[in-house]
Chains A and B, each alone.
Chain A
């Protein structure tokens, strides 16, 4: 079993729709959690950190459920520019463990 698992997608979503991704992690010692975004053939870039209380940044909302060991990302009013791969990342003792990513394609 992978330490961080994500549905690889692709998720094909019409512009303006709401889309949600989930990610599960196996190590209960995980300390902090992040969503990164990666465009094709580019480096990953931090999208947002994920807190137990949930956090929102504009159209993006992240949630953490420690009991069930999953993390979610919700994108509202999706834009064409949201098309990318979204990587779920878990920090364990200062080492980042990465999921394989979920590919999102926003269609006009």
Chain B
């Protein structure tokens, strides 16, 4: 399968714990995006990378959130000191250099903070 993959698919954690999610984009895609989606809402943009550079961050991304893409391939999203309001589906998407508008999504990581 050469699509976008995300790991883990589900994560249950206690409030206050740190969690880290991984995203592996389609191999030739240079842009990578992180979104958060809650029930009944569309995805909300969090941040995006072009190669290893983080070019944009949403104001939704508080200081507890950090994302990296160290070698311009896979990316990680870390949430520190999780809160119940962080419970959501975290989606990763990637797009090719020739069509930055078309984004291909991974299956998402569903986070539940108890």
Give A63 to B51 CA distance when docked, in angstroms.
34
CB interface residues, A 39-69, toward B, < 8 Å: 42-46, 49
Judge whether B105 and A96 touch: CB under 8 Å: no
Give chain B nearest CB distance to A29 CB in angstroms.
15
In the complex, which of the residues A32, A43, A97, A99 contacts B45, with contact meaning CB atoms closer than 8 Å?
A: A97
**Interchain CA distance A95-B95 in the complex, whole Å:** 12
* Pair count A-B, CB < 8 A: 46
For A2, give the chain B residue with the smallest CB separation: B42
When A95-B48, A95-B56 are in contact, do A46 and B102 touch as well, CB less than 8 Å?
yes
Q: Is A43's CB under 8 angstroms from B103's CB?
A: no
Q: Are A32 and B101 in contact (CB under 8 A)?
A: yes
Asked if B25 is an interface residue, CB under 8 A from chain A, the answer is no
Question: Are B105 and A94 touching (Cβ within 8 A)?
Answer: no
Q: Is A91 engaged at the interface, CB distance under 8 Å to the other chain?
A: yes
Query: Is there contact, CB below 8 Å, between B103 and A46?
Result: yes
- Size bracket of the A interface: 20 to 34
| Bound CA–CA A34/B10 (angstroms) | 28
Contact B105 A45 (CB under 8 A): yes
Please provide the chain B residues from 19 to 51 with a CB less than 8 Å away from any CB of chain A in the complex: 33, 40-45, 48
Convert B81-114 into 0s and 1s, putting 1 for each residue whose CB lies closer than 8 angstroms to a CB of A. 0000000000100000000111111111000000
A96 touches B45 (CB 8 A): yes
Across the interface, B105 reaches (CB within 8 A) one of A44, A97, A99, A101, namely A44
- Residue from B91, B100, B101, B105 with most neighbouring chain A CB atoms (10 Å): B101
B42 touches A43 (CB 8 A): no
Residues of B within 8 A of A98 (CB): 42-44
Assess whether A43 is in contact with B105, with CB atoms less than 8 Å apart.
Answer: yes
Give the complex CA separation of A16 and B42 in angstroms: 27
A98–B43 alpha-carbon span in the complex (Å) = 6
**Of B43, B101, B104, which one neighbours A34 at CB under 8 angstroms?**
B101
15 contacts across the A-B interface (CB closer than 8 A): A34-B102, A43-B105, A43-B106, A44-B43, A44-B105, A46-B102, A46-B103, A49-B101, A87-B42, A94-B101, A97-B45, A98-B42, A98-B44, A100-B42, A101-B40
